[in-house]
Structure formats: structure tokens, C-alpha cells
């Protein structure tokens, strides 16, 4: 066994894509998963270099790091205005709660404001990122419905602009991973087609679309639904709406905010059954207040009041993002929704990795993949986090 092994974790359950090793061990080396296996790992430990970090997991659980494709900020900072120090603060906070990769998510804003976010994130990604990795940018808006703004600033809502997309893809190639828009708006269908042609995930959200309009958008390349049930037309037995299309359209992968506030437990259970274990993603939709206490904050220039962990607009009382972390979302999915740890892990790690096309690199525990690894107790309390093999303190 290589003497360069840096971390060896034993006496743990190893949650893999298709199975769980109930008693096993895992080795991390040079930023990757070196090997893993069954048993107590005693013979493997005997071959380790004396400098290796050997960790007794005390019967806990090892999971792949979480990937959050929809997160606006945290610990007092927002991606809309965060400088490098602010990006460090956001990524460190979420890394300490199990997120090893994320999409920096914008809100509906002017093109100039969005351009500035893209500039800052691109510059940040060009340096070594010490905490959770910014895997790209998720543009939430500004091409959404004026009827369903939620906590988005309606002053900046516009119809899809193909010239904006051409400019972004020219100046920031590969940086935009996903864009949320309302597929029923004028110009949305050619815009969705252009997104897919540029390798960008076309997502619906903040939309007044009918069932038929969503189905038509899918034919043009729409393949994702943000924070399902929230800010979209509801399910009715004679008009299935956006929700009905998301539930029944196999081409759409769906997100859900599993915090017990945004979506009723029964609706999350329904969504999980309809989409199955491979087409549902856990997200946080976390705003800058995540990690902080009750008080007044801002989201996209709008005043937000956080009380008892729930964020709402000061005017209108709409839910405004969340203060959720991915480890809390996983626990809710297991303890309340009734998913297995394996299913919840897939929704928090494997599915988003596949959604972003990086599942050959991360998102599951397999030798050769990035050492984005979490150690949890048997009670699902987060104990340790490694991002590319680096322990997060």
C-alpha cells in the first residue's frame, strides 16, 4: 500500500452507489479515494506510513460530499455581491455543513449586476479554492414570470434575451451551468434551445406555465425544475399545471427544499415517489442568513426577516430562500420523509453530480474519484468533512 496515504477511516459503514458496506474502511490519498474495503482494515492499517491520519469512525457512516446546485449565500454573504473574502465565507460555511461543491446562484437582477457576479466567480475559480468548490453559476432569472416572482425583485424581470446569452457564453465559456426561467414567456422556447446547445441546463421556475407549455418546453430541451412546488402553477385535477408536468415528465429532474417549511411533508413524499431515487435533488436555496440568527437581511435588494430559522420578505411575507444546510436537508429526508440514507445520499450527492456531468469525478465513493468525503455518526451528525482530501476545519 502506498506510503502517501494521508487519511484512513475505519469502523464505518461505506455508502456506495449500489450498495452499503456495513463494516468497512476507506483510504484517501493525493486528493482522491485511494481504496476502500470490508472488515476492520487492520491489515491495511499496518502498512500505513506513520504520518497518516488514522480515524476510528466508531460505527458511523461515510458518505460522498454534498453538491448543492441552488444556493444563494450563507454566513452573512450573498453571491450577488460577495468579493473573494465573501466567497471564502460562503464556501467555508457550507463546507462545514457537508457541502463539497456548489453552484453560485444569482437572483433576478440587471445584466450588469449578473455580469459582475460572473466576473467575480470566474476569478475566484482561477485560484485554488480552499473550501467547497464553486462548480459553476446557476442564473436564477431574470427571465421569470411577473406573476410568480417569489422573493425575486420584479423590477428586473425581463423576457429572455438571446444576445445576453451570446455575450455570457462568449465572455465566460463553461461558467454558467444552469439557468432558471419561465418557459411560457415570449422568446423562452428558442432561448431554452440555445441554452442546451451551449451545454447549459435549462430549468423552469418562478413560472405560470401550464402543463402543456411545460411539455412543449421539454421538447426544446427543458430538463430541470427548481424548488418544486414553490413559485409555480399548482396541481389541479383538471389542470395539472407546472407541478403536474414536473411530477409526470421523466425528462425533468426536480429539486426540493426539504426543510419542513417550503413544502409539506406529504408533497415531498409524493415527489420522491414520482421522481424516484435518480431524478430528485436536495437543495438548500440558502440565503445570506444561513448560519446566523434571527434578524433582518437582504436578498436581491429586498428586505428579508428571519425568525426561528424561516426567511420571509418583509413586504408580502413570501418565503425568501432558506437558512437550510445540506446536512439538515439529508437528515429531514431520512427522519421525516422516510428515505433511506442511501436514497437521500444519492439525492444530495450522486444525482447533482450526474446532473452537472461530473459524476465520473465526484458524487460517489469509488476508488479514483475525488476525495469529497463526509463522516457522520450513526445519528447522522456530521463529524468530519474532506474536500479533495483536505480536512475542513
Alpha carbon distance 191, 349 (integer Å): 29
pLDDT tens, residue by residue, 164-174: 999 999 999 99
Terminal-to-terminal C-alpha distance of the chain = 28
pLDDT tens, residue by residue, 138-157: 999 999 999 999 889 999 99
Higher pLDDT, 129 or 17: 129
| Residue 319 assigned to a binding site | yes
Total Cβ atoms within 10 A of residue 352: 29
Percent of residues, the chain, with pLDDT higher than 90: 85
pLDDT > 70? residue 23: yes
Alpha carbon distance 305, 283 (integer Å): 21
pLDDT tens, residue by residue, 348-372: 999 999 999 999 999 999 999 999 9
- Edge to edge, the sheet with strand 32-38 lists 32-38, 20-29, 7-15, 53-64, 373-376, 382-387, 390-391
Confidence of residue 5 (pLDDT cuts 50, 70, 90): low
Q: Where are the chain's structural domains? A: 7-64+365-391, 66-355
Burial (Cβ within 10 Å: 0-12, 13-18, ≥19) of residue 186: exposed
Q: Is the bond leading into 378 cis (omega within 30 degrees of zero)?
A: no
pLDDT > 60? residue 250: yes
**CA Rg value for the chain:** 21
pLDDT > 60? residue 90: yes
Largest CA distance in the chain: 68
Write the CB contacts of 342 (distance below 8 Å, at least 6 apart in sequence).
15, 20
**What is the pLDDT, as a whole number, of residue 249?**
98
Paired with 209 in beta bridges are none
| Residue 261 assigned to a binding site | no
pLDDT > 70? residue 50: yes
> Which of 3.30.70.20, 1.10.10.60, 3.40.640.10, 3.20.20.140 is the CATH number of 66-355?
3.20.20.140
pTM of the predicted model as reported, rounded to 2 decimal places: 0.95
pLDDT > 80? residue 1: no
**What is the pLDDT, as a whole number, of residue 47?**
82
**What is the pLDDT, as a whole number, of residue 307?**
86
| Residue 202 assigned to a binding site | no
Across residues 218-224, what is the average pLDDT? Answer: 98
Higher pLDDT, 271 or 1: 271
| Residue 119 assigned to a binding site | no
Which residues are catalytic, by number? 285
Q: For 232, which DSSP code?
A: B
pLDDT > 80? residue 128: yes
Instruction: Report the interhelical angle of 265-275 vs 241-248 (nearest 10°).
Output: 40
| Residue 141 assigned to a binding site | no
Confidence of residue 310 (pLDDT cuts 50, 70, 90): confident
Ranges assigned E (strand) in the chain: 7-15, 20-29, 32-38, 53-64, 66-71, 73-74, 77-78, 99-105, 133-140, 176-181, 201-204, 224-225, 253-257, 280-283, 295-299, 302-307, 310-313, 373-376, 382-387, 390-391
Total Cβ atoms within 10 A of residue 166: 12
Which fold does the domain 7-64+365-391 belong to in CATH? Urease, subunit C; domain 1 (2.30.40)
Confidence of residue 3 (pLDDT cuts 50, 70, 90): very low
| Residue 86 assigned to a binding site | no
To the nearest whole number, what is the mean pLDDT of the chain? 95
Helix or strand (DSSP H, E) at 115: helix 111-125
| Residue 231 assigned to a binding site | yes
Amino acid at each position: 500500500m502506498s506510503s502517501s496515504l494521508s487519511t484512513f477511516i475505519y469502523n464505518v459503514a461505506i455508502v456506495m452507489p449500489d450498495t452499503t458496506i456495513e463494516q468497512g474502511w476507506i483510504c484517501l490519498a493525493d486528493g482522491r479515494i485511494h481504496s476502500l474495503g470490508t472488515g476492520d482494515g487492520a491489515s491495511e492499517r499496518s502498512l500505513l506510513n506513520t504520518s497518516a491520519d488514522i480515524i476510528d469512525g466508531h460505527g458511523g457512516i461515510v458518505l460522498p460530499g454534498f453538491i448543492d446546485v441552488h444556493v444563494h449565500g450563507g454566513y452573512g454573504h450573498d453571491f450577488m455581491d460577495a468579493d473573494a473574502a465573501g466567497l471564502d465565507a460562503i464556501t467555508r460555511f457550507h463546507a462545514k455543513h457537508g457541502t463539497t461543491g456548489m453552484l453560485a446562484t444569482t437572483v433576478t437582477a440587471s445584466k450588469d449586476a449578473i455580469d459582475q457576479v460572473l466576473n467575480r466567480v470566474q476569478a475566484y475559480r482561477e485560484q485554488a479554492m480552499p473550501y467547497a468548490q464553486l462548480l459553476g453559476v446557476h442564473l436564477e432569472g431574470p427571465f421569470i414570470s411577473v406573476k410568480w416572482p417569489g422573493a425575486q425583485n420584479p423590477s428586473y424581470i425581463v423576457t429572455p434575451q438571446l444576445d445576453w446569452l451570446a455575450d455570457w457564453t462568449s465572455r465566460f465559456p463553461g461558467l454558467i451551468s444552469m439557468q432558471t426561467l419561465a418557459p411560457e414567456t415570449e422568446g423562452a422556447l428558442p432561448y431554452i434551445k440555445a441554452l442546451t446547445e451551449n451545454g447549459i441546463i435549462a430549468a423552469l421556475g418562478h413560472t405560470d406555465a401550464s402543463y402543456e407549455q411545460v411539455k412543449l418546453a421539454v421538447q426544446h430541451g427543458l430538463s430541470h425544475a427548481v424548488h418544486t412546488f414553490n413559485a409555480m402553477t399548482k396541481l389541479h385535477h383538471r389542470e395539472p399545471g407546472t407541478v403536474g408536468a414536473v411530477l409526470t415528465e421523466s425528462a425533468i429532474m426536480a429539486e426540493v427544499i426539504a426543510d419542513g417549511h417550503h413544502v409539506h411533508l406529504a408533497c415531498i413524499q409524493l415527489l420522491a415517489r414520482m421522481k424516484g431515487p435518480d431524478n430528485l435533488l436536495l437543495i438548500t436555496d440558502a440565503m445570506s442568513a444561513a448560519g446566523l440568527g434571527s434578524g433582518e437581511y437582504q436578498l436581491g435588494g429586498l428586505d428579508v426577516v428571519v425568525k426561528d430559522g424561516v426567511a420571509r420578505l418583509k413586504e408580502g411575507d413570501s418565503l425568501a430562500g432558506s437558512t437550510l444546510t445540506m446536512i439538515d436537508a439529508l437528515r429531514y429526508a431520512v427522519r421525516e420523509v422516510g428515505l433511506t440514507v442511501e436514497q437521500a445520499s444519492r439525492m444530495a450527492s450522486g444525482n447533482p453530480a450526474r446532473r452537472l456531468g461530473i459524476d465520473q469525478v465526484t458524487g460517489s465513493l469509488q476508488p479514483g474519484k475525488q476525495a469529497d468525503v463526509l463522516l457522520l455518526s450513526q445519528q447522522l451528525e456530521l463529524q468530519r468533512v474532506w474536500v479533495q482530501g483536505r480536512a475542513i476545519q
